[in-house]
Structure 1
Amino acid sequence: MAVFTVHMFRAVTPLLLFLSAFLLGFVRPDPLVPCYFIFGDSLVDNGNNNDIASLARANYPPYGIDFPGGRPTGRFSNGLTTVDVIAKLLGFQNFIPPYASTDSAQQLLSGVNFASAAAGIRDETGQQLGARISFNGQLQNYQSAVQQLINIMGDEDSTANYLSKCIFSVGMGSNDYLNNYFMPSTYSTSREYTPEQYAQVLINQYSQQIRTLYDYGARKVALIGVGQIGCSPNELAQSSPDGTTCIDRINSAIQLFNRKLIALVDEFNQLQGAHFIYINAFDMFGDIGRNPAAHGFTVTNRGCCGVGRNNGQITCLPYQTPCDNRDEYVFWDAFHPTEAANKIIGKRSFSAQSSSDAYPFDIRRLALR
């Protein structure tokens, strides 16, 4: 019979205490990556536009009605965004904060969100909505953040090594179509370029911008494809003959950009230490649109709140009363998905449900690289 000695008890007790604490929730595992940096537009903005002179803001009710605490934060949703979902799946216990509200360099160690509503690859994109932080501006903020990290860690090599383990997600391009190319009364781009030419112009600039991100330490990068803007309530209200049929000329133009974005992933993966992936948001939304009932949705062509034809022409008005059955709506307002839709896209981005969801692999595998 085995003898349980005092020495064995002393060795086993800490392990038992740790396991007990883990099971009770007192000890949580570390995230899969040390930090998560987010770049993008209103689909993932979580407050960077709150205090700037812009019409593209969501820091008022009913935005955030289903967010923890039931308060508006600047997210263009009733609750979580896709990157909130991804952050949780990566293992972060807290939401990644907006860059605008970080008040200490130490906060940068777990990552920040640089996204800004109405932002585009092109600097002029979204200018009719007022102030916004274009992708170039977001990159400048990131460069400032890297310098602060260097000050914390003491040298560039340590910082570069740290950043190489982090996840970066970049979702740009939606506004370059919605609030630029397909707004001919305000922008001249549709008269200057064919859809093919415009997609190439965007990709050429995007490539240079992404290279800046790489030069400043980004190695694990998820490039998010542009979604089906032609199926948004805004476009359906303005251009659909029956209010439900998606606008093919818009979606076709976007797919030209997305295909070039996949090629850009291949190009960047040739760089030393680079691990780039493409997230196919376009087809994920297509799956929802083709079979909404299978995903729990009953309404796909109008917003839960908003103004205009089928709540589809502008965003939610302050203190407007939204629909009650929010989980059954794909869209929260004229442009942005509900939390329910964001959860689906976020989960599939993290762990691909089909081979077409991500290329060459999903965010979960990217984190493990």
Structure 2
Amino acid sequence: MYSSSSLTIYFFSFLLLGYHGEARITLPPNATVPAVIAFGDSIVDQGANNNLNTLIKANFPPYGKDFVAGKPTGRFSNNKTPADMIVDELGLKEFLPAYLDPSLDDKEFLNGVSFASGGSGYDPQTPKLAAVLSFEDQLKQFKEYIEKLKSIVGEEKTQFILANALYLVVAGSDDLANTYFTIGIRRLQYDIPSYTDLMVSSASNFIQDIYKLGARRIGVFGAPPIGCLPSQRTLAGGGLRLCSEEYNQAAQLYNSKLQPQIEYLNSTLSQSRIVYIDIYNPLLAIIENPLQYDIEVVDRGCCGTGNIEVSILCNKLLPTCPDDSKYLFWDSYHPTNKGYSILVDQVIAKYINDFY
């Protein structure tokens, strides 16, 4: 008979079979991360939107310019997303695939997938406006994924994967920047305090839903300083394209409500490690002190003018900057590979031990 510890080591080795990357994250003793599972929006969308009838896509040039063979995959970046970087740092695989990727084989499922859909959000109106996958859709796919795992490795190993996987929940930016401010559909019904309450309530319900399905180590990302995104500078920053303080204050208010709710869930859901991940302050620090991070341009993206181009507006007909490593943003909404790398390194260093 195998002991429980030797069985865990054997199973973890089995999960990593086929990828020879080296883990660069130092986990606590006896800690194991067999998979990474992502939910949310375009920050961790690995190509879910490619076959949806939506304008929110990134499966065409110049997206993916610095990816393998310069291939656009549906990732809203010139190269990797934070989800890719995290699985690579863990030594699990080089890239995290989308659950809807038709080329996935059984082995790929074992190390995790992303259900995220660019343009989605906690507010049910947000994915409707963008014609993308809602959190309800992503939850439904997660249930399908669990059944697929059971058919591949059985009930016991499935529960092991679910309980020890690292979950990333990344959303909120599209709710605030698009649904509330830019399109304004919710401004007729809610003021900012009540709208952020709606967002936090929806986020809390989703976390509890995935907990009921077996998730235990859940990282929940706060909202970034959305008023400093290049597109939001253009839309709400005046003639000088300054950061919109109104937008940033809304993001801060949301974060100030989300964090204690996450702490409450972590204290009440048994055996859980639910971690609030601050992205607002690290991103703002780069924006305010770019040269410290070897960044030169923070107020516009690399694609086109950099002021408004995102998704289908960032396309092969437009020029891109000569050196995207000097830019914080790739398009007017999403960071470059360089920007993501800086942020992910900080997040991992600060939070990885909080999951154990």
TM norm structure 2: 0.87
In the other structure, the counterpart of 1:182 is: 181
In the other structure, the counterpart of 2:154 is: 154
Mapped contact 2:38–2:116 kept (Cα < 8 A): yes
In the other structure, the counterpart of 2:34 is: 34
Residue pairs, 1:30-179, within 5 angstroms: 32-102=32-102, 103-129=104-130, 131-155=131-155, 157-179=156-178
Unaligned runs of 5+ in 2: 1-18, 26-31
Structure 2 counterpart of 1:231, from 211, 228, 231: 228
Compared CA separation, residues 26 and 109, structure 1 to 2 (3 A): closer
Mapped contact 2:20–2:91 kept (Cα < 8 A): no
Unaligned runs of 5+ in 1: 1-24, 353-361
What is the distance in 1 between the residues matched to 2:42 and 2:21? 35
Partner SS, residue 187 of structure 2: helix
What is the distance in 2 between the residues matched to 1:319 and 1:69? 20
Compared CA separation, residues 26 and 41, structure 1 to 2 (3 A): closer
Q: Would you say 1:311 and 2:306 are equivalent positions? A: yes
Task: Please report how far the alpha carbon of residue 200 of structure 1 lies from its aligned counterpart in structure 2 after TM superposition.
Answer: 0.7
Partner SS, residue 272 of structure 1: coil
Structure 2 counterpart of 1:262, from 259, 262, 271: 259
What is the distance in 2 between the residues matched to 1:328 and 1:150? 45
What is the distance in 1 between the residues matched to 2:336 and 2:224? 14
Partner SS, residue 48 of structure 2: coil
Task: Please report how far the alpha carbon of residue 162 of structure 1 lies from its aligned counterpart in structure 2 after TM superposition.
Answer: 2.7
Compared CA separation, residues 143 and 304, structure 1 to 2 (3 A): same
Partner SS, residue 95 of structure 2: coil
What is the distance in 1 between the residues matched to 2:209 and 2:290? 39
RMSD of the TM alignment (CA)?
Answer: 2.0
Q: Would you say 1:344 and 2:342 are equivalent positions? A: yes
Task: Please report how far the alpha carbon of residue 29 of structure 1 lies from its aligned counterpart in structure 2 after TM superposition.
Answer: 6.3
Residue pairs, 1:154-303, within 5 angstroms: 154-155=154-155, 157-184=156-183, 187=185, 189-270=186-267, 271-303=269-301
Mapped contact 2:21–2:94 kept (Cα < 8 A): no
In the other structure, the counterpart of 1:9 is: none
Mapped contact 1:126–1:179 kept (Cα < 8 A): no
What is the distance in 1 between the residues matched to 2:174 and 2:62? 23
Compared CA separation, residues 273 and 55, structure 1 to 2 (3 A): same
Q: CA deviation digits over 1:329-355, x for unaligned, max 9?
A: 111111111111000111111112xxx
Compared CA separation, residues 151 and 237, structure 1 to 2 (3 A): same
Compared CA separation, residues 140 and 300, structure 1 to 2 (3 A): same
What is the distance in 2 between the residues matched to 1:346 and 1:266? 22
Structure 2 counterpart of 1:329, from 327, 330, 346: 327
Q: CA deviation digits over 1:197-251, x for unaligned, max 9?
A: 1111111121111111100111011001111110011111122124342101111
Aligned length: 327
TM norm structure 1: 0.84
Stretch of structure 1 that moved more, 96-105 or 257-266: 96-105
Compared CA separation, residues 344 and 141, structure 1 to 2 (3 A): same
**Aligned-pair identity (%):** 32
Partner SS, residue 328 of structure 2: strand
Q: CA deviation digits over 1:253-293, x for unaligned, max 9?
A: 11111112111221121211100111111111111011001
Q: CA deviation digits over 1:299-320, x for unaligned, max 9?
A: 11111114xxx42123212342
| Matched residue type, 2:116 | A
Partner SS, residue 210 of structure 1: helix
| Matched residue type, 1:260 | K
Task: Please report how far the alpha carbon of residue 35 of structure 1 lies from its aligned counterpart in structure 2 after TM superposition.
Answer: 0.5
Mapped contact 2:21–2:93 kept (Cα < 8 A): no
Q: Would you say 1:365 and 2:353 are equivalent positions? A: yes
What is the distance in 1 between the residues matched to 2:164 and 2:316? 41
Q: CA deviation digits over 1:19-68, x for unaligned, max 9?
A: xxxxxx97956995110001121112111111111110000111011112
Partner SS, residue 201 of structure 1: helix
Compared CA separation, residues 26 and 297, structure 1 to 2 (3 A): closer
Mapped contact 2:23–2:92 kept (Cα < 8 A): no
Task: Please report how far the alpha carbon of residue 92 of structure 1 lies from its aligned counterpart in structure 2 after TM superposition.
Answer: 2.0
Partner SS, residue 300 of structure 1: strand
What is the distance in 2 between the residues matched to 1:70 and 1:47? 15
What is the distance in 2 between the residues matched to 1:203 and 1:171? 13
Mapped contact 1:99–1:112 kept (Cα < 8 A): yes
Task: Please report how far the alpha carbon of residue 159 of structure 1 lies from its aligned counterpart in structure 2 after TM superposition.
Answer: 2.4
Mapped contact 1:83–1:346 kept (Cα < 8 A): no
Partner SS, residue 252 of structure 1: helix
What is the distance in 2 between the residues matched to 1:52 and 1:208? 26
Stretch of structure 1 that moved more, 97-106 or 35-44: 97-106
Partner SS, residue 34 of structure 2: coil
Task: Please report how far the alpha carbon of residue 86 of structure 1 lies from its aligned counterpart in structure 2 after TM superposition.
Answer: 1.5
